[in-house]
Amino acid sequence: MIDKSSPVPIYYQLEELIKKQMENNELQPGDALPSEREYSELHGISRMTVRQAISNLVQNGMLYRQQGKGTFVAERKIEKQLLGLTSFTEDMQGRGVRTWSEVVDFQKVPANLYIASQLEMIVHDEVFEIKRVRMAEGTPMAYETTYLPAKLLQGLTEEAATQSIYLYIDEHLSSPIGSARQTIEASTANDMEADYLQIPEGSPVLLIERTSKLKDGTPIELAKSVYRADRYKFSVDISR
Ligand code: 16G
């Protein structure tokens, strides 16, 4: 309930109330939210306050607006642990979600300076360049460009890339994937990414770059992943 005598801002109390209703499944993904007027009458608060609460929840991706139709509850975000070097396939299978990839590009290209430096190769050495849309139960979740040293993975096929590349590496190389360095940046979907991810152009996305090494120290992967910010959040447990 909203407590007007509390020092906690009313818009924030309403946000928490709506979040709680989502947690309790009183509001489920796809449900239409009551109108601003209904909230304002129900709680005896101004429509401005209701608007602020709803805008905040739209901004963090918990709700979405559809022009002329109203505001709806978004799908829940997948929470991914930042620690732990897992693959997309493992992340999805661990949640019992059916996953596959649409391979939109699969070719061997000469490494440019940046790719070569990340993979500790010589410029112009061949790399596989693989572009994939990563799917979860039919929903595109991420658009990924992966560079792999061609010399180490001669037999890699487009067919294998529709499944798990990590699995392929672990099965075909003598040393398994051991470590990685990863950066995460805020970005927005460009025209092509928006198309593949089925989101409006300019939507927020998380740009993640990972450079992975085998246990024996050999660099094996440079991956640039564009994850949908409306479907993903990253968490890490910290202490001091
Ligand atoms: C994840 C990794 C990506 C890796 C891919 C392998 C992040 C941010 N990125 O998407 O670096 O190439 O998994 O997935 O987690 P796969 O084994 O299912 O092909």
Q: What is the pTM of this model?
A: 0.81
Reading phi first (left if > 0) and then psi (alpha if -120 to 50, else beta), residue 84 is in left
pLDDT tens per residue across span 55-76? 999 887 789 898 889 999 988 8
Nearest to 211 by CA among 200, 224, 202: 224
Dist. CA 156 → ligand 1 center (Å): 16
Whose Cα sits closest to atom 16 in ligand 1? 164
Question: Atom of ligand 1 at shortest distance to CA of 212?
Answer: 11
Dist. CA 87 → ligand 1 center (Å): 4
pLDDT tens per residue across span 86-114? 999 999 999 888 999 999 999 999 999 99
Question: Atom of ligand 1 at shortest distance to CA of 161?
Answer: 19
Counting residues of the chain whose pLDDT is more than 90, the rounded percentage is 82
Dist. CA 113 → ligand 1 center (Å): 23
Q: What is the pLDDT of residue 157?
A: 96
Pocket of ligand 1 (CB under 6 A): 87-89, 144, 146, 164-167, 208, 210, 221, 223, 225
Is the pLDDT at 79 greater than 90? The verdict is no
Cα 144 to its chain centre, rounded Å, is 11
Whose Cα sits closest to atom 10 in ligand 1? 88
Helix ranges (H only) for the chain are 10-23, 36-43, 47-59, 88-93, 113-118, 158-161, 165-172, 191-197
Per the prediction, the chain carries an average pLDDT of: 94
Mean pLDDT of 6-12: 95
pLDDT top residue among 144 and 232: 144
pLDDT tens per residue across span 211-225? 999 999 999 999 999
Q: Sign of the CA dihedral 52, 53, 57, 63? A: negative
Distance separating alpha carbons of residues 17 and 153, to the nearest angstrom: 52
pLDDT tens per residue across span 163-206? 999 999 999 999 999 999 999 999 999 999 999 999 989 999 99
Dist. CA 13 → ligand 1 center (Å): 38
